[in-house]
Structure 1
Amino acid sequence: MLNKNHPLQSKSEVILRNIVVTAMIIYFIVFLIIPIGTAFVGSFHEWNPLSGTFRLLGLDNYRKIFTDNLFWKSLSNTIVFSFVVIIFRVGFGLAIALAIYSKMIKHKSFFRMLYYMPVVTPMVAVAYVWKFMYHPQIGTMNQIFGLNVNWLMNSKMALPAIMLMTIWKDFGYAVVMFMAGLYSLPKDAMEAADVDGASPWQKFRYITIPLLKPMILFVVITSIIAYIQAYVQVLILTEGGPGTSTFLSSYIIFDEAFVKYNFGFASAMSFIMFVVTAVLTWLSFRVTRSKG
């Protein structure tokens, strides 16, 4: 694995590095390659670990997915959910990062920590707090705004309520990432713009945004991957209801695998969602490059 004759490497160092590399290879084989391979093979079977069923079905699981109305409903919900949350995550994150970065704001470290705290808070804890806030009788959302809305049992309001909670929890990540990008911008470009008499909007549009484009792309791509896999907030807040109004694709996978124990169907859907994620990621790269 490594050149044992390298003059700067001691024998113990070579042994230690070989052990670490070997351990990493074993880890990826055991916890990544084998599970993915097993799930891929299982996607072509009727697979129920509880009953010991593992019967070959061929492409029946995949055919069933594409003819399942709930799958298309959940896919449309996932696209809407991801699009809205990403737009607000990037928009709020960039706006707050610019505000903190400006010379008018003091105690910048405090505000970075404040906005990042929800990100490191477990989703389960956040979801339970927001479930209490959405309570129709004693919830703070209705009391603060003087409303009488059953947020999580209204088919038109349930998904937006989940989006609002997710935006609140996650936009701090974008704030920190964009602040890192802002601090890495070349100061000479801004100084040259000031000398040329550029307005703040012109500097933002023609200097800040183009230079931050790689960071914006990174936040968008990581958000797409994260939100296509989102299911914890749905599980805790609505369990997919009312009806199927808040079913997301990952929640169906969870429901099929760990509630119905239909591992074959869940595995097939997982690989389809992998393809969807890859396509959306590719499109994000294409759109960003075409505007560059």
Structure 2
Amino acid sequence: MFKKNSPLQSKSEIILRNIVVTFMIVFFSVFLIIPIFIAFAGSFHEWNPLSGTYNFLGFENYKNVLSSELFLKSLWNTFIFATIAIVFRIILGLGIAYAIYCPLIKWKSFFRVIFYMPVVTPIVAVAFVWKFMYNPQIGVINDIFGLDINWLLNPDTALIAVVIMTIWKDFGYAVVMFMAGLYSLPADALEAAVVDGASPWQKFYYITLPLLKPMTLFVVITSIISYIQAYVQILIMTEGGPGTQTYLTSYIIYEEAFVKYNFGYASAIAFIVFVITAGLTLISFRVSSTQK
């Protein structure tokens, strides 16, 4: 704990700091660390809290998960979902942020608020609204584009429809992050590029974009973590259907744990997903470090 090593620190200040630090340690231990260890232990058991079942199975849950066609399909669906959402999140976020950053654009704060509003809107509300918009009878999307598609019940369009909704909701996060990165760029480097006769595209490609690599990496990593855990929009809009076309790994965890109460199997999936997420994050760091 903190000790008094400066006459400017009062005894009450040290006591307050120790109380805060102790509270944080207890809080994270009770609500994060201990549940993780319980779930990890439970992944090796047949675990049903409702019936009181807790039978040791060894690695049986992990073997069943890795041999499950549904899990492997959900991994592929998650890969498609996350890749498309991340790519468009970065492209739209960076493009709009750079447009707002332009000196010719006024009311910058207004545009930041407008684009960030969907991000802070509850995902449940957004999913229900988009589900209504996708409705083939009364939805506005078919009316606007003159289409006749049952978006959420068509195996060819269901996952893409969910991805489009997710991109719309989340790209404002990237807008705000990239704007923060743009305003932190060294002005002397940009001014030197202008003096040297660089065109706007050259200034963006050779100066702005490389300097934004740390922020881009941050957006990519947070997006990977977020989209691998996505399941609420699937639960509300498609419930994994039609068939298993929109099953994501996190949705299987939800279904196994809170519908079937098979907590051991769900915990095994959760830790496999954790390893995959950690691996993708490490790869992102390595790729970024090799490009410096």
TM-score, reference length from structure 1? 0.98
Which residue is equivalent to 1:262? Answer: 262
Structure 1: distance between partners of 2:227 and 2:132: 23
Q: Write the deviation string for residues 34-62 of structure 1: whole angstroms up to 9, x where unpaired.
A: 10000000000000000000000000000
Q: 3-state SS of the aligned residue for 2:136?
A: coil
Structure 1: distance between partners of 2:274 and 2:222: 14
Structure 2: distance between partners of 1:55 and 1:273: 23
Which residue is equivalent to 2:55? Answer: 55
Which residue is equivalent to 1:44? Answer: 44
Q: Which runs of 4+ in 1 moved over 4 A?
A: none
Which residue is equivalent to 2:124? Answer: 124
Q: Which runs of 5+ in 1 are unaligned?
A: none
The one-letter code of the counterpart of 1:155 is P
Q: Write the deviation string for residues 260-279 of structure 1: whole angstroms up to 9, x where unpaired.
A: 00000000110000000011
Structure 1: distance between partners of 2:138 and 2:235: 21
Q: 3-state SS of the aligned residue for 2:212?
A: helix
The one-letter code of the counterpart of 1:50 is L
Structure 1: distance between partners of 2:199 and 2:151: 43
Q: Which runs of 5+ in 2 are unaligned?
A: none
Identity of counterpart residues, as a percentage? 70
Displacement of 1:5 in angstroms is 5.8
Q: Write the deviation string for residues 187-234 of structure 1: whole angstroms up to 9, x where unpaired.
A: 111111111111111111110011000000000000000000000000
The one-letter code of the counterpart of 1:98 is Y
Displacement of 1:6 in angstroms is 3.8
Q: Write the deviation string for residues 125-147 of structure 1: whole angstroms up to 9, x where unpaired.
A: 00000000000100010011111
Q: 3-state SS of the aligned residue for 2:21?
A: helix
Which residue is equivalent to 2:95? Answer: 95
Structure 1: distance between partners of 2:14 and 2:84: 50
1:229-244 → structure 2 map (5 Å cutoff): 229-244=229-244
Structure 2: distance between partners of 1:205 and 1:7: 52
Aligned-residue RMSD, C-alpha: 0.9
Which residue is equivalent to 2:69? Answer: 69
Displacement of 1:285 in angstroms is 1.5
TM-score, reference length from structure 2? 0.98
Which residue is equivalent to 1:274? Answer: 274
Which residue is equivalent to 1:15? Answer: 15
Q: Does the alignment pair 1:104 with 2:104?
A: yes
Which residue is equivalent to 1:3? Answer: 3
1:237-252 → structure 2 map (5 Å cutoff): 237-252=237-252
Structure 2: distance between partners of 1:5 and 1:209: 45
Q: 3-state SS of the aligned residue for 2:152?
A: helix
Q: 1:257 to 1:99 in 2, by over 3 A?
A: same
Which residue is equivalent to 2:165? Answer: 165
1:125-204 → structure 2 map (5 Å cutoff): 125-204=125-204
The one-letter code of the counterpart of 1:95 is G
Structure 2: distance between partners of 1:12 and 1:47: 48
Q: Write the deviation string for residues 41-86 of structure 1: whole angstroms up to 9, x where unpaired.
A: 0000000000000000000000000110000000010011100000
